[in-house]
Amino acid sequence: MGRRVPRTLCQPDGVKSCGACCGMYNQRDERTFKQTMSRLIERTRAFRASCAIDDTGSLERFRAEWEPAPEDKLLGELPSCPFLGLLELKSADISHDDTEAIMRGKVGCLVHPFQNDGVDGRDCGVYDRSICEDYLCAAHDVMREDEKWLVLQAVKDSYLYGLVITDTRFVRELFEHAARINGMMPTARTLAREDAIKAAASYFELKRDWPHRAEDGMFGQVTPGEGLQTPRRRGPSEQVGVEPGAYEAVLRCLGTEVVDLPQLEAARAEVASRIERFARAVDLVAR
């Protein structure tokens, strides 16, 4: 696209980051932005109050206390590292006025050497330092450069960023539906329009606290199974016994569960309005 996209998507800029591989969303009793980020605030405060990066014993005790048990996770065998925290929270103290800003700040590894003057505590986590250093998620290879670029422009906080950048199908559906509506894929020039970025942001926001999300729907189009198995989620149209609509794949990506046709139609309408807004913004003919 002629625009720079960072090679590593985990910490792409100074505003947001991704904690998905560290188990950020793998919590059975959390369905909302505030629930997840409140847990990270509590855990980060506890870390700041009780751990020293050069004291392995304190790190091991912290992990024993804060690592989620298998029964508390959506995928019991998927590692969830207790050292994932909020990097802007530099001490155990936090005022009420700061809470919202910290919730929208960067997540990251509290024992990473970049955060601790070169001292590395990652071997005390659920992954050792070599895995943390070398692993890159599928989004790095699967997503196109224009898709990555749009996500980076449109998403401004870590919670939403991790949900969007790791769901390549959800991002691609936005592009493909715009192409279906307009008769051509969005171009670099149309994607750079301010209203296009705002429209994409509105679509991506569906991931934050989708009201039709199933209890186990955080992983979107797959559903937790035995061990690390993730069977494909039953589509919402199938759930109520009707033909799939145009946005069935998007609804799967959102982990949608509906109980009747009116609820399905409401979910479809919400998705359609945001996709159509984006399509209008990137339509060459309309300008």
The whole-angstrom separation of Cα 128 and Cα 107 is 19
Same domain, yes or no: 167 and 45: no
Boundary of a domain, candidates 114, 135, 156 = 135
Q: Is residue 9 included in any domain, yes or no?
A: no
Mean pLDDT, residues 168-182 taken together = 98
What is the model's pLDDT at position 106? 95
- Give yes or no for residue 97 having a pLDDT over 70: no
Mean pLDDT, residues 148-172 taken together = 97
What is the model's pLDDT at position 179? 97
Q: pLDDT, tens digit, for every residue of 193-250? A: 999 999 999 999 999 999 999 999 999 998 888 777 888 999 999 999 999 999 999 9
Among 71-80, 93-102, 128-137, 256-265, where is mean pLDDT lowest? 93-102
SS (H, E, C) the chain: CCCCCCCCCCCCCCCCCCCHHHCCCCCCCCCCHHHHHHHHHHHHHHHHHHCCCCCHHHHHHHHHHHCCCHHHCCCCCCCCCCCEEECCCCCCCCCHHHHHHHHCCCEEECCCHHHCCCCCCHHHCCCCHHHHHHCCCCHHHHCCHHHHHHHHHHCCCHHHHHHHHCCHHHHHHHHHHHHHHHCCCCCHHHHCCHHHHHHHHHHHHHHCCCCCECCCHHHCCECCCCCCCCCECCCHHHHHCCCCCCCHHHHHHCCECCCCHHHHHHHHHHHHHHHHHHHHHCCCCCC
On whether the pTM is more than 0.85, the answer is: yes
Same domain, yes or no: 151 and 277: yes
Q: Quickly tell me which residue has 């039709």 as its tokens.
A: 212
Q: pLDDT, tens digit, for every residue of 40-80? A: 999 999 999 999 999 999 999 999 999 999 999 999 888 99
Same domain, yes or no: 104 and 204: no
Q: Please state the domain count of the chain.
A: 2
Mean pLDDT, residues 139-165 taken together = 97
Tell me the β-bridge partners of 85.
Answer: 108
Range of the domain at 45: 20-135
Same domain, yes or no: 98 and 45: yes
What is the model's pLDDT at position 287? 61
Same domain, yes or no: 151 and 106: no
- The pair phi, psi for residue 197, each rounded to 5°, is -65, -40
What is the model's pLDDT at position 229? 80
> Distance between alpha carbon 262 and the CA centroid of its chain, in Å?
28
Instruction: Provide the mean pLDDT of the chain.
Output: 93
Same domain, yes or no: 129 and 221: no
Same domain, yes or no: 63 and 118: yes
Q: Is residue 6 included in any domain, yes or no?
A: no
Q: pLDDT, tens digit, for every residue of 110-150? A: 999 999 999 999 999 999 888 888 899 999 999 999 999 99
What the block records as the tokens of 86 is: 């909020």
What is the model's pLDDT at position 95? 67
Torsion angle in degrees (nearest 10) through CA of 83, 87, 91, 94: -110
196 Cβ neighbours under 8 A, 6+ residues apart: 186, 190, 278, 281, 282
Boundary of a domain, candidates 65, 100, 135 = 135
Task: Say if residue 14 is exposed, middle or buried (CB neighbours under 10 Å; 0-12, 13-18, 19+).
Answer: exposed
The CA-based angle 153-198-145, given to 5 degrees, is: 35
What the block records as the tokens of 165 is: 């950048």
**pLDDT-derived band of residue 285, with 50, 70 and 90 as boundaries?**
confident
Among residues of the chain, what percentage have pLDDT more than 70? Answer: 97
